[in-house]
Amino acid sequence: MAARVSLQNVRKVFDDGSGASLVAIDGVSLEATRGEFLAIVGPSGCGKSTLLKIIAGLIEPTAGLVEEDGRRVAGPPARFVYLFQQYSRSLFAWRTVLANVMFPLEQTAGSRADIKETCRRFIAQVGLAGFEDRYPWQLSGGMQQRVAIARALAANPDVLLLDEPFSAVDALTRMELQTLVLELCQRNGFTAILVTHDVEEAVFMADRVAVLTQRPTRVAEIVPIGLPRPRNQLTTREDPRFLELRHHLMTALLGDAVDAGR
C-alpha cells in the first residue's frame, strides 16, 4: 500500500546560539499508510514533538524529505490537522465553543447557517452538545480537548497529528479521549500519527509503534501491534499480547532503570 505520509532521512540540526550546533534528529525514516495509526514513543527530550512539527510542515527539516502521497510537503498540508498538547492555549479564548469549531470553515464557500449546522454535528460527535455557547475557560480540561478535536474535524482532515494530546488530563478522561479518537479514526478512515511518552497509550491506540533513541534521535525499532480492533479499555489492556508488547517497549525505553530500590 502506498504511504500516505512518509519521512526519508529527516535530520534537524539546531544552532544553539554560540555557533555550536545540536543534532536533534539524525536521519529518521518512517511511514504511515492510509488509514494506519502510527505511534511514536521515545525518551523525554528526544525530539518527538519536533519530529511531529516537521511532519506538520510547521518546522523545516535541515535535511531529508517529508512526503504526502509521494509529493514533497512544503508548509502545512491542507488535510493534516494538529492536536496540541497545550489544548487550552490552542483554543481561541475569545470565541465560544461553536465559534472555535467554525474557525476552519469560515473561509470556505457556503452559507453561515449551513456551516453552523455542520459544526453543531461535530460538537455533538465529541459529546459536547449543549455546550456550544460556552467559552473555553468555562470548560474542564478534557472538554477543552474535545473542542480542539471538534475544531480539527471541521477542517475536513484525513491525517491527524497528535502531539501528546492526552497528557495533561486525568487518567479517566484520558481513556475517554483515547476511545473517542479511535472511534473517529475508525469511522472516518483517518491516518493518525501519535507522539507520546506513554507506552500503554501507544500500544492501546496504534497499529505500529516506532521507538526513538536518545539524542541524536534515530528510530531504534518499529513494533507491529496487531491487537484486534475495536480496542477496548478493559479487554485490550488485559490481553496477554498487550502486556507482552508493553513489557517489550518498556524494556527498550527504560533499559537498566526497570528495577527500583536495588
Partner 1 sequence: MKDRHLAILIGVISLAMVTGLWEFVSDHRIVSPALLPPPSSVARALVTLIADGDIWQQLLHTAALFAGSYAIACVVGIAVGIWMGCSEFVDGLLQPIVELLRPIPKSALVPALFLFLGIGPLTMVTVVVVAAVFPVLINVYQGVRGLDPVLSETARTFGCSRWRTIRSVVLPATLPAIFTGMKVALSLGIVLAVLAEMLAGQSGLGFIILDTQRAFQTDQMYAWVVVLAAFGAACSLLFDRIERFAIPWHGR
Name the residues that contact partner 1, by CB under 8 A. 53, 56-58, 75-76, 78, 80-82, 84, 86, 89-90, 92-95, 103-104, 106-107, 135-137, 155
Single-letter residue type at 23: V
**Do 226 and 208 form a contact (C-beta atoms < 8 A)?**
no
Please, which residue, 103 or 248, has the CB nearer to partner 1?
103
3-state secondary structure of 237: helix
Please, which residue, 79 or 248, has the CB nearer to partner 1?
79
Distance of CA 79 to the CA centre of its chain: 14
Please spell the DSSP secondary structure of 91-160, one letter per residue. Answer: S-TTS-HHHHHHGGGTTSSS-HHHHHHHHHHHHHHTT-TT-TT--GGGS-HHHHHHHHHHHHHHT--SEE
Please, which residue, 57 or 127, has the CB nearer to partner 1?
57
| Smallest distance from partner 1 to CB 76, Å | 5
| Smallest distance from partner 1 to CB 17, Å | 18
Closest CA to 246 of 203, 183, 195: 203
Please, which residue, 142 or 157, has the CB nearer to partner 1?
157
d(CA 102, CA 97): 9
| Smallest distance from partner 1 to CB 216, Å | 24
d(CA 138, CA 1): 45
| Nine cell digits for residue 51 | 519530529
Please, which residue, 87 or 204, has the CB nearer to partner 1?
87
Please, which residue, 75 or 226, has the CB nearer to partner 1?
75
d(CA 52, CA 61): 11
| Smallest distance from partner 1 to CB 248, Å | 33
| Smallest distance from partner 1 to CB 140, Å | 14
Please, which residue, 96 or 173, has the CB nearer to partner 1?
96
d(CA 115, CA 106): 8
Distance of CA 172 to the CA centre of its chain: 19
Q: Give me the helices (H) in 165-258, please.
A: 171-188, 199-205, 235-238, 240-254
Please, which residue, 27 or 57, has the CB nearer to partner 1?
57
| Smallest distance from partner 1 to CB 11, Å | 21
| Smallest distance from partner 1 to CB 219, Å | 24
| Smallest distance from partner 1 to CB 40, Å | 18
